[in-house]
Structure 1
């Protein structure tokens, strides 16, 4: 099995296809398997790389709080790229993975050809942040006490108002999601929830860095994913090279609910970036800002 080292942690990864590398970063409630429909389509055109975050078998599951957190998750993206000897890649992140991918992009813009930010920003509303942190800590203890396959955890992570659309649209896909969720490590999920989800700062804290980030970015959200709508709008208004795609009657798991539309939109975006047709927002004087001139490799 292929592994990339990140400090003392080993991260499991898979790669399919040839061409420009596209690295996928998964959400909290899923793992690398959640990108299967994207890999099957996009690997016809690109070198698609998926990996499991620390705490998600078959990646290592350390049992210390200090071995989890936003900074380490960002480090892990770089570790996978370094292991594969990739100077630059397109990065697609979903939810927890979207936030991690965005932080990596802000810190290392020279390594990111293009960014797709999907369903990110939960917990970033200042009015509800304290309750979000308290719930994250409480949920982490439930994972440890009951396990990821318990009815309580399954209801919590698969049947909330932002998730239930998948059940209505694709019952088989919904059951697969629940089955794979039950296979996750309770310890890994709890430590990720406690140290990454609960402690990550809201993206609104990074307005200056976001304004300076000129990497071509596609922001994707479902219109029934209320916790991320405001963050998506904030990023669109703040990042000069960002575009926003909102999918109607769609919840959190956009890539699972509407795979055909999602795949086509991501493919169109990547082609536009490769052809240098993804323009930055027009400047205040009415003249277009310069095209992204990053050398494509």
Structure 2
């Protein structure tokens, strides 16, 4: 398995295609496994790189760990791009991966050419979304107390609904269940979407992210996700928005995303 040693951890990654770098950042719970088909399609439009974030699936540490902070994931993403000489990249982040992508663009703007945010988990940007996320945090901790194997399923049921979780293949459910320790480490860590001290960004900080951004919202997602994207559409300087069918598990290779990547690759001067 291809691996990169960055920031004291070994990260599993996959790379395919040529052209403009494209970095895919998965959500929580999650793994690059869930991006396999999308990565193949994205590789027809650029150099696609996906990886398991630290603590997740094939990048899990060999011993138990305490907490995972947003800064860990952001610095890992920057280090992956640096190690592969792949920046600046179009960074595609789904859910928690979108939160990481936003902070990557803010802290390491030289690594990011453009952003694709698939319902990023920046819930603090909207009061109602923030309350929803805090309630999710409490329910997840209560329902999975002492049973880390239930953490992933509980988070997924909250975001996707019971029926969507039940429809996932059994082997994928097992992969996600195995990410329970990482999910708990993020919840008890700092600045993550379900942390006690979730990241808060001011209007000026968001306005400082001067990168072309595609905001993707799904019709059947929790209202909190739609509220976040509506706020971001007004706060980020250079945004396009698109509404797609389905729920929170948005396809990273949706046609709207592929079109956006192609426009960025061609440096089309179409922003207005």
TM-score normalised by the chain length of structure 2? 0.85
- SS in structure 1 of the partner of residue 127 of structure 2: coil
The alpha-carbon distance between structure 1 residues 44 and 218, as it changes in their structure 2 partners (threshold 3 A), is same
| 1:290 matched residue in structure 2 | none
Deviation (angstroms), 1:228:
1.0
Farther off after superposition, 2-11 or 69-78: 2-11
1:228 and 2:228 aligned = no
Among 273, 276, 283, the residue aligned to 2:267: 276
For residues 45-90 of structure 1, give each alpha carbon's deviation from its aligned partner in whole angstroms, at most 9, with x where no partner exists. 3211111111113213364435x11111110101111211223111
Q: Based on CA coordinates, which of the two structures has the bigger radius of gyration?
A: 1
| 1:102 matched residue in structure 2 | 102
The alpha-carbon distance between structure 1 residues 11 and 141, as it changes in their structure 2 partners (threshold 3 A), is farther
- SS in structure 2 of the partner of residue 145 of structure 1: coil
1:157 and 2:159 aligned = no
Deviation (angstroms), 1:16:
1.6
TM-score normalised by the chain length of structure 1? 0.79
| 2:23 matched residue in structure 1 | 23
1:241 and 2:238 aligned = yes
- SS in structure 2 of the partner of residue 33 of structure 1: helix
For residues 245-283 of structure 1, give each alpha carbon's deviation from its aligned partner in whole angstroms, at most 9, with x where no partner exists. 1114x211111xxx7xx53111100111222325434xx
- SS in structure 2 of the partner of residue 58 of structure 1: helix
Among 162, 166, 190, the residue aligned to 2:184: 190
Farther off after superposition, 131-140 or 43-52: 131-140
How far apart, CA to CA, are the structure 2 residues paired with 1:186 and 1:270? 33
1:180 and 2:181 aligned = no
How far apart, CA to CA, are the structure 1 residues paired with 2:170 and 2:4? 30
Is the CA contact (8 Å cut-off) linking 2:21 and 2:87 kept in structure 1? no
What RMSD in Å do the two structures reach over aligned CA positions? 2.7
Is the CA contact (8 Å cut-off) linking 2:78 and 2:108 kept in structure 1? no
Residues matched between the structures, number = 266
How far apart, CA to CA, are the structure 1 residues paired with 2:236 and 2:203? 9
Is the CA contact (8 Å cut-off) linking 2:152 and 2:179 kept in structure 1? no
1:215 and 2:211 aligned = yes
How far apart, CA to CA, are the structure 2 residues paired with 1:275 and 1:92? 18
Deviation (angstroms), 1:200:
5.3
Structure 2 residues without counterparts, runs of 5 or longer: none
Structure 1 residues without counterparts, runs of 5 or longer: 282-297
Is the CA contact (8 Å cut-off) linking 1:25 and 1:92 kept in structure 2? yes
How far apart, CA to CA, are the structure 1 residues paired with 2:108 and 2:90? 12
